């Protein structure tokens, strides 16, 4: 089965080619959507087979590399189109193909009747192929193809409604910001390649080869430089501070895109990349610190913004940014397994939330359309009381919200609590641990608040659209609700494969399967970490129970506040914003980050470009060039008098010349 | 066939003779003949590719006496190696496309236009295959004249200014090069080299100060042609005024003369001077990348934007070439080919919309995707190729350039150059968005026709190459590899090779990858002295 790994990205590629070239002629939505979904489903089947085979192998044999064809061979650089299968990439292909299949299925219903239906499915397949290359690549360059490929698809899909200027702007912004990250990725790759080559004559960008040689890497120094560069790449792709502003704008794309690309898969690539190179990152305590701090900061920063948004998808977008921050926090404290675990559970519940919001928008749009209303179908202020009209959407949405809020028994609780516990107890960052934990806990409180605010505003209370429109509200078709139900189920049970040891022991010794599974991948990194980690790390069970209880209380506080503000005393939020107008404005306007970027970077660059063109190119350089030409022209004007064409003049000057020359020889 | 190179090079001249017998009013015959001639030339050139043995030697060599005048002995000495091979093929490949693109664009003086195109082809091919410096110079000048006429006669409003600027700029450089060339020849005579033969001159040992003067003269001529900052201002004008085919050839092939000149002549002839000047040239190259990108971003005319993007792309080529190592030079060579394909394609694209709307102002467009979906797809592919998206040709070259330069002493330059990766996305995506996305609100654009079969036919080979070179660059790299390896050892200054004599021969066979690192490891150490 392992040998067939190349089939996994190949199927979606075939789907892309079929729909891309012939989709327009096929026209039939069922066929186009069927092909797209089938292709990614086939990848899922192959992935399942690979997973089964890998489970059957002993832990130390769970690594397999497959060279498909040689790609760039030049001098000491040898890069092949090659794939790496290990427990980590297995988790990723399962998530990408599994969630991917559900979202493809959902899209058949959601995109029904859209003009560019075939185009949508072609791009979606192309995205899946790129994402699979990203997670399967056995070297940085194949990862980078996927890395840029998903960026391209993200560009194409955000700009799907290209006739809208906002969509075009958002698409471009996403791509350019990602490119800023890619700049870092490239420099990081160059640095490692050059350092290993010039110091140890190991010229490689292959992950397993670097892992084998990673003991040569120093702690800090060049590793800090390289990993910070890589992390810049991660902040671009995974929308972390300071490169996060593209993700909320990316909501211009159709909702399934937001679910697949901007929640479940692509944006987690940065987390995956750190996991893939954990043995390099761990060697730089400084970078680990930066990753943890940026992660925690993003988690709380985005969470605050999420509390004030009224567009249902924007709330979820900021929530994604915030949850990604949690993942980076985990990576930064050396809890790689917890980070990947949260990546997986987040893929379930956030995909479910996005698809649920899509179901709501779909229904709202339909209702408003029938009522000839021009109200915004995505604005939560127009919603309310949808739970009776859309029971399946409501229940799955509620389940996922509980999961993300961190209520025990649901998947998000296990992964998020693990992260917070690790942030508190990790042996790396000394005094900073308390801060990291505290910030994470507050962010978790905000999370519970804004998510329940969303649920209350959308599904509870009075319906705020016109009665006429209200009559047209209805539950979405099965093709939409089936993926919701599957993902909702996963949002509940997905966490049980990674039970914390504490709970597992209590339940009679259920092991943390997820941790055992990923152990071989991160073993190297854990070994290095013991070199410099502080001795600490011995915390009592009672402390762990206490913190777990505390984080539950924190989540409940968030929910209670949301309940108070949006169910019981619905006039309170208005009063609050009236009392603190400046604060509300700042939060509502995303702390003016976009304006800051325009002011500090975009506009100066434009001004500089214009100056270099109109000022330097045209005035200075061409001024000199034309000036020289004019001088030459001026001289030629003078010389023109000499070339008068009169034989007499020429004779005189010849005679003059002869006299001069003769005179020179005579008198020398 | 022993004279395959000559045949390829002079077939277009035969075509010119043929064209002379065609009445100037039968435009379609003229076009057909020109297309046939360039197509046949391409077909004839293919055996050069297939028959090329992958080694470092010059092949298909023809060497015979040509001119002997006074002290000067010039020979008709031609041949290709892995470096010039692909440029020859690129030239014969682009020419039929360029001719085909003029079928509806040029309606006046078709006969003269086609003659210019064919003469240009001979000039360019000749310059790429010359192994005699004087012969090279002749071809170098021959190229100039048809291009000058193409801009001056078939150009836009400001054509005379642009043509003269193009001519004078290039001429100034060429004259300096001519002086240096003659000087070098006499130096060679002193050392017992009887002619302008390039291969013998490679072995000429010159002292450093002589090298520096000669290098500066050559480098100046080539820098204008590349063009390198700050000698680039002729290019935007020439491109905007030139007819589409002129722009395509100018970008795809003529600019490569400059970079090729460095690789073939300036660097191996004067290796120590080249090393001395590497920081200067790298600085100018990097400035060119950033500067041209910023200027491109603000352009209002699509064609000018593409012209400035050329300056940026060629900056990458120069950076890679002056890394003096395998990856850098390979990347530079690939980037030359890529730029030929991608920027050639971009100029064709600009030509398509210009022919339809007779404007190139970005603000006159918007929302064309809706009206011209095929065009939109092609434009997008080429845009991303120009940006250097992995999977397209642009990436492989750019990546090798950057990684090669990073390994060399040009590390800091590389970091600045890498920012070009961001900037290229900014200006290309911005123009793409403004032309193709948004509402189709200009009534003049609402009746635009999508590409016709001929236009699609022009683009298909280029698109195919974009993906082929991006996904499977191996054949291209393999063929040029030995020649570049040889060049790398040629340009390693004497002082360095003396210090590391054992580096190359000692390496065990069968470890081709091990050969270079060991050699290069010595390079920084050697240079420190």
- Of B227, B229, B231, B233, which to mutate for an interface test with A (greatest number of A Cβ within 10 Å)? B233
Which chain A residues touch B430 with a CB distance below 8 Å?
A: 172
A77–B418 C-beta distance less than 8 A: no
Q: Could you give the count of Cα atoms lying within 13 Å of B42 in the half-sphere of its Cβ? A: 16
Is A656 domain-assigned?
yes
Which chain B residues touch A606 with a CB distance below 8 Å?
A: 297-298
Q: What count of CB pairs under 8 Å joins A to B?
A: 158
Which chain B residues touch A141 with a CB distance below 8 Å?
A: 390, 399
Does A501 share its domain with A645? Answer: no
Does A604 share its domain with A507? Answer: no
* pLDDT tens figures, B434-473: 888 888 888 888 888 888 888 999 999 999 999 999 889 9
Is A571 domain-assigned?
yes
Does A553 share its domain with A629? Answer: no
CA angle A592, A597, A599 (to 5 degrees): 90
Does A581 share its domain with A601? Answer: no
**Smallest Cα–Cα separation from B488: which of B324, B275, B356?**
B324
B384: nearest CB among A145, A152, A609: A152
A622: nearest CB among B233, B403, B517: B233
A78 at B interface, C-beta within 8 A: yes
Annotate A308-340 with b (16+ C-beta within 10 A) or e (fewer).
bbbbbbbbbbbbbbbbbbbbbbbbbbbbbbbbb
CA separation for the pair A159, B174 (Å, rounded): 48
Which chain A residues touch B433 with a CB distance below 8 Å?
A: 159, 168-169, 171-172
Does A508 share its domain with A398? Answer: yes
* pLDDT tens figures, B139-196: 998 888 888 888 888 888 888 888 888 888 888 888 889 999 888 888 888 888 888 8
Does A554 share its domain with A606? Answer: no
For tokens 């030995």, the residue is: B482
Q: Does the N-terminal peptide bond of residue A242 adopt cis geometry, omega within 30 degrees of 0?
A: yes
Is A233 domain-assigned?
no
Is B73 in a helix, a strand, or coil? strand
A610–B298 C-beta distance less than 8 A: yes
- How many residues are present in chain B? 529
Does A467 share its domain with A368? Answer: yes
A625: nearest CB among B233, B437, B474: B233
- pTM of the prediction? 0.87
Listed residues A533, A560, A588: the one ending a domain: A588
* DSSP character string of A197-246: HHHH-----BHHHHHHHGGGSPSSTHHHHHHHHHHHHHHHHTT-TTS-TH
The dihedral sign for the CA sequence A396, A399, A405, A411: negative
B362 at A interface, C-beta within 8 A: no
**DSSP letter at B131?**
-
Does A489 share its domain with A615? Answer: no
B331 at A interface, C-beta within 8 A: yes
A162 at B interface, C-beta within 8 A: yes
| Environment class of B256 (CB within 10 Å of its CB; exposed 0-12, middle 13-18, buried 19+) | buried
Distance from CA of A72 to the nearest CA of B (A): 6
A162–B440 C-beta distance less than 8 A: no
Is A58 in a helix, a strand, or coil? coil
User: What values do phi and psi take at B330, rounded to 5?
Assistant: -60, -45
Does A378 share its domain with A483? Answer: yes
Q: With a CB-CB cutoff of 8 Å, which residues 164-183 of chain B face chain A?
A: 165, 168-169
- Of B298, B300, B456, which to mutate for an interface test with A (greatest number of A Cβ within 10 Å)? B298
| Helix axes A140-158 and A165-200, enclosed angle (nearest 10) | 170
Residue A540 has pLDDT above 80, yes or no: no
Is A340 domain-assigned?
no
B325 at A interface, C-beta within 8 A: yes
Is A441 domain-assigned?
yes
If DSSP states are collapsed to H, E and C, what string results for A154-185? Answer: HHHHHCCCCCCHHHHHHHHHHHHHHHHHHHHH
Residue A191 has pLDDT above 80, yes or no: yes
- Of B437, B477, B484, which to mutate for an interface test with A (greatest number of A Cβ within 10 Å)? B437
The pLDDT, as a whole number, for residue B335 is 93
Instruction: Tell me which of B24 and B16 has the higher pLDDT.
Output: B16
The pLDDT, as a whole number, for residue B75 is 87
Q: Where are the alpha helices (DSSP H) in A513-612?
A: 513-532, 541-563, 572-579, 581-588, 593-597, 603-610
A612–B406 C-beta distance less than 8 A: no
* DSSP character string of A236-257: HHTT-TTS-THHHHGGGS-HHH
**Which percentage of chain A shows pLDDT scores above 90?**
24
Residue B241 has pLDDT above 70, yes or no: yes
The pLDDT, as a whole number, for residue B504 is 41
Residue of B nearest to A619 (CA): B233
Is A68 domain-assigned?
no
* pLDDT tens figures, B396-443: 999 999 999 998 888 899 999 998 888 888 888 888 888 888 888 888
* pLDDT tens figures, B344-394: 999 999 999 888 888 888 888 888 888 888 898 999 999 999 998 888 998
User: What values do phi and psi take at A355, rounded to 5?
Assistant: -65, -35
Residue of A nearest to B390 (CA): A145
Residue B510 pLDDT class (50, 70, 90 cuts): very low
Listed residues A560, A588, A616: the one ending a domain: A588
Residue A126 contacts residue A43 (beta carbons within 8 Å): no
Dihedral (C-alpha) A605, A606, A608, A613: value to the nearest 10 degrees? Answer: 140
Does A366 share its domain with A420? Answer: yes
Is A67 in a helix, a strand, or coil? strand
Residue B41 pLDDT class (50, 70, 90 cuts): very high
B389 at A interface, C-beta within 8 A: yes
A193–B403 C-beta distance less than 8 A: yes
Q: Does the N-terminal peptide bond of residue B226 adopt cis geometry, omega within 30 degrees of 0?
A: no
A77–B391 C-beta distance less than 8 A: no
**Which percentage of chain B shows pLDDT scores above 70?**
93
Q: With a CB-CB cutoff of 8 Å, which residues 519-548 of chain A face chain B?
A: none
B327: nearest CB among A74, A613, A617: A74
Is A477 domain-assigned?
yes
- Domain hosting A639: range is 593-667
**Strand pairing category for B72-80 and B59-69:** antiparallel
Q: Which residues make beta-bridge pairs with B63?
A: B77
Does A385 share its domain with A441? Answer: yes
C-alpha to C-alpha distances, A170 to A157, A242, A318, A538, nearest whole angstrom: 10, 17, 15, 48
Q: With a CB-CB cutoff of 8 Å, which residues 163-202 of chain A face chain B?
A: 163-165, 167-169, 171-172, 175-176, 179-180, 182-183, 186-187, 189-191, 193-194, 197-198, 201
Residue B322 contacts residue B286 (beta carbons within 8 Å): no
C-alpha to C-alpha distances, B174 to B139, B231, B253, nearest whole angstrom: 12, 14, 18
CA separation for the pair A462, A473 (Å, rounded): 14
Q: Enter the ipTM.
A: 0.84
Tell me which H or E stretch contains A80: strand A77-85
For tokens 């020109």, the residue is: B34
The pLDDT, as a whole number, for residue B524 is 42
CA separation for the pair A412, A435 (Å, rounded): 22
The pLDDT, as a whole number, for residue A499 is 80
Residue B516 has pLDDT above 70, yes or no: no
Listed residues A561, A588, A615: the one ending a domain: A588
Is A510 domain-assigned?
yes
| Environment class of B529 (CB within 10 Å of its CB; exposed 0-12, middle 13-18, buried 19+) | exposed
Residue A533 pLDDT class (50, 70, 90 cuts): low
Does A573 share its domain with A425? Answer: yes
Annotate A398-407 with b (16+ C-beta within 10 A) or e (fewer).
bbbbbbbbbb
B230–A186 C-beta distance less than 8 A: no
Residue B107 contacts residue B27 (beta carbons within 8 Å): yes
A144 at B interface, C-beta within 8 A: yes
How many domains is chain A built from? 2
A190: nearest CB among B168, B403, B438: B403
Tell me which H or E stretch contains B399: helix B393-407
Q: Where are the alpha helices (DSSP H) in A333-380?
A: 336-370
B516 at A interface, C-beta within 8 A: yes
End-to-end CA distance of chain A: 98
End-to-end CA distance of chain B: 49
Which chain B residues touch A144 with a CB distance below 8 Å?
A: 390
């Amino acid at each position: 089965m392992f040998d067939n790994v190349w089939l996994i990205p190949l199927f979606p590629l075939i789907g892309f080619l079929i729909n891309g070239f012939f989709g327009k002629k096929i026209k039939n939505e069922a066929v186009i959507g069927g092909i797209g979904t089938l292709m990614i489903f086939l990848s899922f089947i192959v992935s399942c087979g690979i997973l089964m085979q890998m489970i059957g192998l002993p832990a130390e044999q769970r690594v397999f590399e497959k060279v498909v064809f040689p790609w760039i061979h030049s001098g000491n650089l040898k890069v092949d189109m090659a794939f790496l299968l290990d427990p980590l990439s297995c988790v990723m292909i399962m998530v990408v193909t599994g969630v991917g299949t559900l979202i493809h299925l959902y899209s058949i219903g959601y995109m029904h009747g859209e003009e560019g239906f075939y185009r949508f499915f072609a791009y979606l397949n192309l995205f899946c192929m790129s994402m699979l290359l990203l997670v399967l690549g056995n070297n940085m360059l194949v990862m980078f193809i996927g890395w840029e490929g998903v960026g391209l698809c993200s560009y194409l899909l955000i700009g799907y409604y290209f006739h809208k200027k906002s969509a075009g702007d958002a698409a471009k912004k996403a791509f350019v910001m990602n490119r800023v990250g890619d700049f870092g990725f490239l420099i990081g790759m160059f640095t490692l390649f050059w350092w290993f080559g010039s110091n140890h004559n190991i010229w490689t960008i292959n992950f397993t080869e670097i892992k084998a040689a990673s003991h040569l890497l120093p702690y800090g120094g060049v590793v800090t430089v390289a990993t910070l560069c890589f992390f810049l790449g991660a902040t671009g792709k995974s929308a972390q501070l300071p490169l996060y502003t593209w993700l909320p704008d990316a909501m211009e794309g159709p909702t399934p895109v937001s679910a697949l690309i901007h929640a479940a898969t692509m944006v987690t690539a940065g987390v995956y990349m750190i996991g893939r190179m954990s043995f390099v990152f761990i060697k730089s305590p400084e970078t680990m610190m930066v990753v943890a701090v940026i992660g925690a900061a993003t988690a709380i920063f985005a969470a605050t913004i999420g509390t004030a948004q009224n567009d249902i998808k924007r709330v979820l977008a900021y929530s994604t940014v915030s949850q990604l921050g949690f993942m980076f926090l985990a990576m930064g404290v050396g809890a790689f397994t917890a980070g990947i675990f949260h990546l997986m559970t987040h893929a379930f519940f956030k995909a479910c939330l996005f698809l649920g919001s899509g179901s709501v928008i779909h229904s709202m749009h339909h209702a408003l359309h029938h009522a000839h209303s021009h109200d915004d179908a995505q604005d939560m202020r127009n919603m309310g009381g949808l739970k009776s009209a859309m029971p399946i959407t409501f229940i799955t949405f509620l389940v996922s919200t509980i999961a993300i809020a961190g209520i025990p028994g649901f998947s998000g609780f296990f992964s998020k609590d693990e992260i917070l516990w690790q942030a508190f107890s990790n042996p790396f960052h000394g005094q900073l641990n308390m801060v990291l934990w505290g910030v994470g806990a507050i962010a978790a409180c905000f999370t519970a608040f804004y998510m329940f605010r969303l649920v209350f505003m959308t599904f509870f209370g009075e319906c705020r659209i016109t009665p006429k429109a209200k009559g047209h509200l209805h539950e979405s078709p099965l093709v939409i609700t089936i993926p919701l139900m599957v993902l909702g189920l996963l949002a509940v049970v997905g966490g049980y494969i990674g039970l914390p040891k504490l709970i597992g022991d209590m339940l009679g010794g259920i092991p943390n399967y997820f941790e055992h599974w990923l152990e071989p991948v991160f073993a190297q990194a854990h070994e290095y970490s013991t070199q410099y980690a502080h001795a600490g790390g011995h915390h009592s069970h009672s402390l762990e129970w206490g913190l777990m209880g505390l984080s539950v209380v924190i989540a409940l506080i968030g929910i209670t506040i949301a309940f108070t503000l949006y169910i019981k005393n619905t006039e309170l939020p208005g009063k609050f914003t009236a009392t603190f107008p400046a604060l509300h404005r700042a939060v509502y306007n995303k702390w003016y980050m976009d304006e800051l970027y325009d002011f500090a970077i975009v506009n100066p660059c434009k001004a500089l470009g214009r100056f270099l063109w109109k000022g330097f190119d045209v005035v200075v350089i061409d001024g000199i060039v034309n000036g020289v030409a004019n001088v030459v022209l001026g001289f030629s004007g003078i010389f023109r008098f000499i070339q008068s064409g009169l034989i007499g003049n020429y004779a005189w000057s010849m005679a003059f010349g002869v006299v001069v020359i003769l005179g020179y020889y005579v008198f020398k | 066939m022993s004279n395959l190179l000559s045949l390829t090079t002079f077939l277009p001249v035969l075509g010119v003779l043929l064209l002379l017998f065609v009445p100037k009013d039968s435009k379609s015959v003229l076009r057909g003949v020109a297309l046939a001639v360039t197509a046949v030339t391409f077909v004839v050139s293919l055996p050069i590719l297939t028959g090329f043995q992958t080694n470092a030697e010059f092949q298909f060599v023809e060497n015979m006496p040509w001119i002997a005048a006074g002290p000067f002995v010039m020979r008709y000495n031609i041949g290709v190696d892995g470096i010039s091979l692909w440029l020859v093929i690129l030239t014969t490949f682009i020419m039929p496309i360029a001719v085909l693109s003029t079928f509806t664009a040029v309606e006046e003086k078709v006969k003269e236009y086609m003659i210019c195109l064919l003469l240009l082809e001979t000039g360019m091919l000749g310059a790429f295959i010359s192994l005699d410096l004087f012969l090279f110079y002749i071809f170098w000048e021959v190229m100039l004249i048809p291009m000058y006429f193409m801009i001056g006669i078939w150009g836009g409003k400001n054509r005379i200014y642009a043509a003269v600027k193009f001519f004078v700029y290039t001429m100034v450089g060429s004259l300096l090069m001519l002086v240096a060339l003659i000087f070098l020849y006499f130096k060679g005579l002193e050392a017992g080299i009887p002619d302008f033969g390039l291969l013998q001159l490679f072995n000429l040992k010159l002292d450093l100060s002589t090298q520096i003067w000669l290098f500066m003269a050559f480098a100046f001529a080539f820098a204008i042609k590349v063009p390198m900052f700050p000698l680039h201002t002729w290019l935007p004008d020439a491109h905007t005024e030139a007819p589409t085919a002129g722009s395509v050839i100018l970008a795809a092939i003529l600019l490569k003369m400059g970079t090729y000149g460095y690789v073939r002549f300036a660097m191996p002839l004067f290796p120590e001077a080249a090393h001395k000047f590497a920081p200067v040239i790298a600085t100018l190259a990097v400035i060119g990348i950033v500067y041209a990108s910023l200027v491109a971003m603000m352009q209002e005319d699509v064609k000018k934007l593409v012209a400035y993007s050329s300056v940026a792309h060629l900056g990458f080529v120069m950076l890679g070439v002056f890394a003096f190592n395998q990856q850098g030079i390979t990347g530079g060579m690939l980037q030359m080919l890529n730029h030929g394909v991608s920027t050639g394609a971009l100029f064709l694209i600009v030509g398509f919309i210009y022919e339809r709307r007779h404007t190139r102002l970005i603000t006159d467009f918007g929302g064309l995707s809706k009206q011209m979906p095929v065009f939109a797809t092609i434009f997008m592919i080429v845009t991303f190729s120009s940006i250097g998206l992995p999977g397209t040709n642009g990436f492989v070259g750019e990546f090798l350039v950057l990684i090669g330069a990073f390994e060399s002493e040009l590390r800091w330059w590389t970091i600045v150059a890498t920012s070009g990766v961001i900037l290229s996305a900014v200006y290309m995506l911005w123009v793409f968005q403004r032309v193709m996305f948004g509402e189709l609100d200009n009534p003049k654009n609402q009746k635009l026709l999508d590409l016709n079969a001929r236009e699609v036919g022009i683009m298909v080979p280029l698109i195919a190459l974009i993906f082929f070179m991006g996904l499977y660059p191996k054949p291209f790299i393999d063929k040029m590899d030995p020649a570049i390896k040889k060049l790398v050892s040629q340009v390693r200054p004497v002082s360095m090779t003396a210090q590391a004599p054992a580096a190359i021969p000692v390496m065990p066979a069968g470890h081709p990858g091990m050969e270079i690192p060991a050699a290069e490891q010595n390079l920084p150490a050697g240079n420190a002295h």
